């Protein structure tokens, strides 16, 4: 079914023959201007072509729609705003403990979601606020969990590093570096076993790429053809250590050796979407594949890290100017005249309000009940005995 | 403090975030410095006096996340003080091999919570090396350093005290130091496996190690207001631990209380309790009290409930004395 396009920018023909699904990679590389009809397929080139390791990379022409681009802009802006708000809350000591922020890397979370369903599973490390949001989590759940309140996604017991959402296949939220990778392969095994055509995305960072358990998991996945996609979110710094100082080979997409890999510009949401779609198809047929997302975090490793002792401020602002994921989508939206600059500003203002409202609601949520300290250690209570400082209180066998 | 001697050593230092209270002055020629400075000084001395000493671990090059290794790389060069990639199992195994060649390998595990991937290496490779090779090889020059314990906001994975797992392994030595102590500036040796009686007392013996001692000291002070005289012992080395000193103290007081941050079930307090019960059964006036962390994963928001606080200790002191 051919898609006819108008090269003219003043399109008033809203009755183009359209295909609601993205066109296959052989579609032409110039795009149509979307009119009010939001089914128009735009074909946009990724910033850079993909690089493959033992696999033919997908085309760099990505199909998208007007609405999809707007939703990318909106969702990434929510994530960005949320992380910045979390920064302020942390400095105000409303969030305690550890807080690892994701701003700069939003395109990875959003692009991935655009390519998969909620029946696919995602498992990641501790930089999980935005991944959780992408899986359908709400802002109130995020801020409540960060502040340790009852309405948090893990009932306030997990904190920043342990967000989970069972209904959406989000398996969290893990503190120990690299430990989530074999878990991800286990998830994939279960999916393969139940034959439901779903996959698991196991995310890890460039620091974790040197953990032995990654290679153990790779071998098992390849041996058993598990539908797992291992995504290395390479933000080039493992805490404060640059990748070239920690890894003999920073080409993480090649580290799988016998497992094929793809290197993706992680700041380009369309590239991420294309790669994840490609990877899902591959994994369901052939087994594991590695995706290396070349991305960047603006904040330091965590809130205790200023982020400027191991990299220059010029580098950070350089990336912000040249490669910021939200700005890229903004430019696309403006170029294709999907929306105007002031409308986008309005969206951002609305998001700010949304985030502030969520924070307000989260602050009202109470702390978990002290008895929750003992719940869920085991399924049934094992009779953990505990008593307060004053032995006059009865020794209670708590659940 | 230079930690010398043979035997595989795992030295655990408490982070100085906690409000380490005033430490009673002990008769020693030294100035009061915090643990990180002491470790730093010790490492400087160790690397200076032994040309085959090496310090390595995650982020040690710039000084480490707790500043224990500041200045070492500049002074001794990157061939002796270097960063490793993020791989605890690899770090431990690598350190064991280095030590087996007769070097003094000082490895750092960034937080004690991260030591578990290295567990197999430490327990199966390091601890048994001398034994299984019939004394041909040993990794006596191996030291693994790691900060442990709660800081108030560490949560599940920056607060644990894993001593109980390792104390179960013959062939290892496990050491603690106070957060703030008086430390001589020169090179000196402390005998391992010797507990220190920090405070003399007559009514009850309190045993602890590491940061918990500051909690116990405050409890002692409060108990003194009620006329209870507490003897406080810093165990310092957990394995092999100084049974004689504790036994002598319990023979004097007749009562024992052990306190540690790790969960109570299977914690090291259980070992102390059982050993003392064996040795001093007829002398004991009350059951041995254990004031420890609760049997839950180390919580995030519930940390104040979980911890063996001064009030819990004080309460147990009174109950034991009035048994």
CATH of the domain at A33: 3.40.50.970
Q: Pairing state of beta strands B31-34 and B180-183?
A: antiparallel
Of A159, A175, A240, Cβ closest to residue B59? A240
Residues B200 and B312 reside in one and the same domain? yes
Contact of A162 with chain B, judged by CB distance below 8 Å, is answered with yes
Pairs of residues, one from chain A and one from chain B, whose beta carbons lie less than 8 Å apart: 102
Query: Is A127 within 8 Å of A296 (Cβ atoms)?
Result: no
**Residue A234 Rama label (left phi>0; alpha psi -120 to 50; beta):** beta
Contacts of B222 (CB under 8 A, 6+ apart): B310, B314
Tell whether A360 and A389 lie within a shared domain. no
Residue A294 vs residues A232, B86, B99: alpha-carbon distances, Å: 8, 19, 39
Q: Are residues A235 and A362 in the same domain?
A: yes
A78 with A134, same domain?
yes
Domain boundary among B147, B180, B208: B147
DSSP-derived 3-state class of residue A305 = coil
Give the tokens for residue A179: 């430990």
Nearest Cα neighbor of B114 from B68, B145, B80 is B145
Q: A 121-150 residues with CB below 8 A of B?
A: 148
Helices A325-335 and A341-364, interaxial angle, to 10°?
140
| CB–CB contact A157 B301 (8 Å) | yes
Span of A8-22, A33-47, B37-51, B109-123 with lowest mean pLDDT: A8-22
Q: How confident is the model at residue B190 (pLDDT cuts 50, 70, 90)?
A: confident
- With CA atoms as reference, report the closest residue to A202 among A166, A161, A172: A172
Which chain A residues are within 8 Å of B309, Cβ to Cβ?
A: 389
> Are both A265 and A393 inside the same structural domain?
no
Mean pLDDT of B297-321: 90
Q: How far is B215 from chain A (nearest CA, A)?
A: 14
> Do B110 and B225 lie in a common domain?
no
The pLDDT of residue B5: 26
Residue B188 pLDDT: 77
Look at residue A38 in the predicted model and tell me its pLDDT: 61
SS3 state of residue B57:
strand
| Two structure tokens written together for B22 | 């005033």
Mean pLDDT of B73-78: 94
Q: A192: burial class by Cβ within 10 Å (0-12, 13-18, 19+)?
A: buried
Sheet with A121-123, edge to edge strand ranges: A51-53, A261-265, A289-294, A228-234, A200-205, A121-123
Q: Is B316 contained in some domain?
A: yes
Q: Distance (Å, rounded) from C-alpha B255 to C-alpha A313?
A: 60
pLDDT at B21: 25
In this predicted structure, what is the pLDDT of residue A8?
Answer: 40
Residues B36, B136 within the same domain: yes
Contact B312 A246 (CB under 8 A): no
Same domain, A251 and A383: no
C-beta atoms of A373 and B312 within 8 A: no
Question: If we measure between CA atoms, which residue out of A247, A217, A235, A357 comes closest to residue A296?
Answer: A235
User: How many domains in chain B?
Assistant: 2
Helix (H, G, I), strand (E, B) or coil at B204: strand
Chain A residues whose CB is inside 8 A of the B307 CB are none
Mutation for testing the A interface, residue in B296, B313, B315 having most A CBs under 10 Å: B296
pLDDT band at B55 (very low <50, low <70, confident <90, very high): very high
Contact B91, B145 (CB under 8 A): no
The answer to whether residue A396 neighbours chain B at the CB level (below 8 Å) is: no
Q: How are beta strands A261-265 and A51-53 bridged, if at all?
A: antiparallel
Query: CA nearest A66: which of A337, A350, A346, A341?
Result: A337
A273 CB burial (10 A radius; 0-12, 13-18, 19+): buried
Cα-to-chain-centroid distance, residue B215: 15
pLDDT at B178 over 80: no
Report the distance separating Cα A81 and Cα A334, nearest Å.
Answer: 21
- Percent pLDDT > 90 in chain B is 66
Q: Is the pLDDT of residue B303 over 60?
A: yes
By CA distance, what is A244's nearest residue in B?
Answer: B85
**Chain A interface mutation, best of B69, B215, B259, B300, highest count of A Cβ atoms under 10 Å:** B300
pLDDT at position B9 is 57
A173 and A64 in one domain? Answer: yes
Q: How far apart are CA A287 and CA A55, in angstroms?
A: 13
A82 touches chain B (CB under 8 A): no
Give the residue among A293, A357, A269 at the shortest CA–CA distance from A81.
A357
Q: What string of DSSP letters covers A179-232?
A: THHHHHHHHHHHHHHTT-S--EEEEEETTGGG-HHHHHHHHHHHHTT--EEEEE
Name the residue with tokens 């290679």.
A215
Do A241 and A382 share a domain, yes or no?
no
Domain carrying residue B47: 30-147
How high is the pLDDT of residue A30? Answer: 32
Q: Please list every residue in chain B whose beta carbon sits closer than 8 Å to the beta carbon of residue A100.
A: none
Residue range B213-248, pLDDT digits in tens: 999 999 999 999 999 999 999 998 898 899 999 999
- A237 by Cβ neighbours in 10 Å (0-12 / 13-18 / 19+) ranks as buried
How confident is the model over B262-267, as a mean pLDDT?
91
Question: Does A156 sit within 8 Å of B155, measured CB to CB?
Answer: no
CA distance A269 to A324: 10
Most distant pair of Cα atoms in chain B: their distance: 60
Taking the Cβ of residue A393 and every Cβ of chain B, the question of whether any pair is shorter than 8 Å is answered with no
Under an 8 A CB cutoff, do A161 and B157 touch? yes
Its domain, for residue A169, covers 3-368
Contact of A374 with chain B, judged by CB distance below 8 Å, is answered with yes
Query: Which residue in the block uniquely carries the two structure tokens 């305690």?
Result: A96
Looking at the DSSP assignment, which residues form a beta bridge with residue B239? B174
Q: Which of B59, B154, B315 minimises the CB distance to A389?
A: B315
Residues of B at the A interface (Cβ-Cβ below 8 Å)?
Answer: 58-59, 62, 83, 85-87, 89-90, 113-114, 116-117, 152-158, 294-297, 299-302, 305-306, 309, 311-312, 314-315, 319
Is the same domain home to B52 and B127?
Answer: yes
Most confident of A17-21, B16-20, B58-62: B58-62
Using an 8 Å Cβ cutoff, are B118 and B84 in contact?
no
Total number of domains constituting chain A: 2
Residue of A nearest to B114 (CA): A176
Q: Do B296 and A377 touch (CB under 8 A)?
A: yes
Mark the ranges of chain A whose per-residue pLDDT is less than 70.
Answer: 1-38, 379-399
Nearest to A176 among B114, B154, B302 (CB): B114
Residues A310 and A386 in one domain: no
Q: How confident is the model at residue B317 (pLDDT cuts 50, 70, 90)?
A: very high
Same domain, A29 and A161: yes
Assigned token pair, A25 = 């990679």
Exposure string of B203-236, with b = 16+ CB inside 10 Å and e = fewer, is: bbbbbbbbbbbbbbbbbbebbeeeebebbbbbbb
Angle, alpha carbons B164-B167-B169 (nearest 5°): 125
CATH number at residue B93: 3.40.50.970
Which chain A residues touch B312 with a CB distance below 8 Å?
388-389
Give DSSP secondary structure letters for A78-142.
HHHHHHHHHHHHHHTTSS-S-----TT-HHHHHHHHHHS-TTSEEE--S--HHHHHHTT--HHHH
Q: Which of B112, B147, B182 is the last residue of a domain?
A: B147
Whole-prediction pTM value? 0.83
Q: Do A235 and A291 reside in the same domain of the chain?
A: yes
- Residue B182 confidence (pLDDT) above 80: no
The CATH number covering residue B280 comes to 3.40.50.920
Please name the helix (run of DSSP H) or strand (run of DSSP E) that holds residue B38, with its range, or none. helix B35-49
| Dist. CA B268–CA B261, nearest whole Å | 10
CB–CB contact B87 A211 (8 Å) = yes
- CA nearest to A242 within chain B: B85
The closest alpha carbon to A374, from A174, A159, A157, A164, belongs to: A157
Contacts B154 to A, Cβ<8 Å: 97-98
Same domain for A239 and A357? yes
Confidence of residue B253 (pLDDT cuts 50, 70, 90): very high
Q: CA Rg, chain B, in Å?
A: 19
State the Cα angle at A8 between A5 and A14, rounded to 5°.
Answer: 55
Query: Is B200 in the same domain as B318?
Result: yes
CA B217 to chain centre: 17
User: How many other CB atoms are there within 10 angstroms of residue B251's CB atom?
Assistant: 14
Classify strands A289-294 and A61-65 as parallel, antiparallel or unpaired. unpaired
Q: How far does the CA of residue B109 sit from the closest CA of chain A (Å)?
A: 13
Q: How far apart are CA A183 and CA A179, in angstroms?
A: 7
The answer to whether the beta carbons of residues A294 and A321 sit under 8 Å apart is: no
Query: In this model, does residue B181 exceed pLDDT 90?
Result: no
Which sequence positions of B are flagged as catalytic? 88, 158
Pair B248, B306 in one domain: yes
User: Is the domain of B118 the same as that of B206?
Assistant: no
C-alpha distances out from residue A170 to A202, A234, A385, Å: 10, 21, 33
Query: What's phi and psi for B65, nearest 5 deg?
Result: -70, -15
Interface pTM (ipTM) of the complex? 0.78
Q: Do A391 and B315 touch (CB under 8 A)?
A: yes
Q: How far is B204 from chain A (nearest CA, A)?
A: 18
Is the domain of A336 the same as that of A378? no
* Chain-centre distance for alpha carbon B133: 29
CB neighbour burial string for A40-56, b if at least 16 within 10 angstroms, e if fewer: bbbbbbbeeebebbebe
> What is the distance between the alpha carbons of residues A394 and B9, in angstroms, rounded to a whole number?
43
Tokens (6 digits) for B138: 């040993």
């Amino acid at each position: 079914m051919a898609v006819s396009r108008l090269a003219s920018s003043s399109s008033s023909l809203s009755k183009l023959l359209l295909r609601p699904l993205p066109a296959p990679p052989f579609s032409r590389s110039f795009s149509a201007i979307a009119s009010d009809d939001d089914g128009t397929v735009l074909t946009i080139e990724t910033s850079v072509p993909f690089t493959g390791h033992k696999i033919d990379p997908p085309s760099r022409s990505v199909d998208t729609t007007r609405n999809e681009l707007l939703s990318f802009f909106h969702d990434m802006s929510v994530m960005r705003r949320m992380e910045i708000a979390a920064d302020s809350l942390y400095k105000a000591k409303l969030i305690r403990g550890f807080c690892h922020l994701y701003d700069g890397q939003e395109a990875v979370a959003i692009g991935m979601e655009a390519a998969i369903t909620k029946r696919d599973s995602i498992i990641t490390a501790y930089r999980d606020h935005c991944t959780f949001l992408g899986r359908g989590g709400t802002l109130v759940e995020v801020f409540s969990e960060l502040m340790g309140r009852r309405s948090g996604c893990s009932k306030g017991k997990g904190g920043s590093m342990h967000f989970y959402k069972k209904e959406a296949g989000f398996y969290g939220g893990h503190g120990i570096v690299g430990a989530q990778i074999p878990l991800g392969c286990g998830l994939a095994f279960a999916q393969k076993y139940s034959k439901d055509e779903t996959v698991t995305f196991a995310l890890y960072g460039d620091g974790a790429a040197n953990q032995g358990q990654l290679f153990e998991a790779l071998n098992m996945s390849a041996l058993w053809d598990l539908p797992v996609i291992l995504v290395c979110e390479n933000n080039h710094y493992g805490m404060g250590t640059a990748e070239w100082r920690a890894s003999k080979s920073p080409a993480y997409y090649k580290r799988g050796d016998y497992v094929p890999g793809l290197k993706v510009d992680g700041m380009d949401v369309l590239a991420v979407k294309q790669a994840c779609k490609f990877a899902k198809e591959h994994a369901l047929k052939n087994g594991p594949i590695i995706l290396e997302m070349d991305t960047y975090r603006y904040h330091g490793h965590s809130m205790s890290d200023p982020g400027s002792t191991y990299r220059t401020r010029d580098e950070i602002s350089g990336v912000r100017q040249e490669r910021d994921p939200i700005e890229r989508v903004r430019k696309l939206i403006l170029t294709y005249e999907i929306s105007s600059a002031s409308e986008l500003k309005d969206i951002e203002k609305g998001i700010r309000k949304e985030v502030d409202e969520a924070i307000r609601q989260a602050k009202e949520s109470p702390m978990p009940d002290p008895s929750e300290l003992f719940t869920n250690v085991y399924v049934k209570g094992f009779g953990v005995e505990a008593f307060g400082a004053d032995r006059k209180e009865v020794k209670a066998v708590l659940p | 403090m230079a930690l010398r001697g043979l035997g595989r050593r795992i030295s655990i230092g408490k982070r100085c975030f906690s409000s380490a209270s005033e430490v009673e002055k002990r008769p020693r020629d030294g100035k009061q410095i915090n643990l990180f400075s002491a470790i730093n000084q010790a490492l400087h001395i160790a690397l200076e006096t032994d040309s085959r000493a090496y310090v390595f671990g995650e982020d040690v090059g710039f000084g480490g996340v707790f500043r224990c290794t500041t200045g070492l790389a500049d002074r001794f060069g990157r061939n002796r003080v270097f960063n490793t990639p993020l791989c605890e199992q690899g770090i431990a195994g690598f350190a064991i091999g280095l030590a087996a060649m007769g070097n003094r390998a000082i490895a750092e595990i960034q937080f004690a919570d991260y030591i578990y991937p290295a567990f197999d290496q430490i327990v199966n490779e390091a601890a048994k090396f001398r034994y299984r090779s019939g004394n041909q090889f040993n990794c006596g020059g191996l030291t693994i350093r790691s900060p442990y314990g709660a800081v108030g906001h560490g949560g599940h994975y920056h607060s644990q005290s894993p001593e109980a797992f390792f104390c179960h392994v013959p062939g290892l030595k496990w050491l603690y130091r106070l957060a703030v102590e008086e430390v001589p500036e020169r090179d000196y040796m402390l005998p391992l496996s010797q507990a220190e009686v920090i405070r003399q007392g007559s009514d009850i013996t309190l045993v602890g190690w590491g940061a918990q001692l500051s909690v116990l000291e405050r409890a002692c002070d409060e108990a003194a207001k009620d006329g209870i005289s507490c003897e406080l012992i810093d165990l310092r080395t957990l394995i092999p631990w100084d049974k004689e000193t504790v036994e002598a103290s319990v023979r004097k007081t007749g009562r024992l209380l052990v306190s540690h941050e790790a969960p109570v079930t299977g914690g090291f307090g259980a070992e102390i309790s059982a050993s003392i019960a064996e040795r001093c059964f007829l002398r004991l006036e009350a059951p041995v009290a254990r004031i420890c962390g609760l049997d839950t994963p180390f919580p995030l928001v519930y940390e104040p409930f979980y911890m063996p606080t001064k009030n819990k200790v004080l309460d147990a002191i009174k109950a034991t004395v009035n048994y």
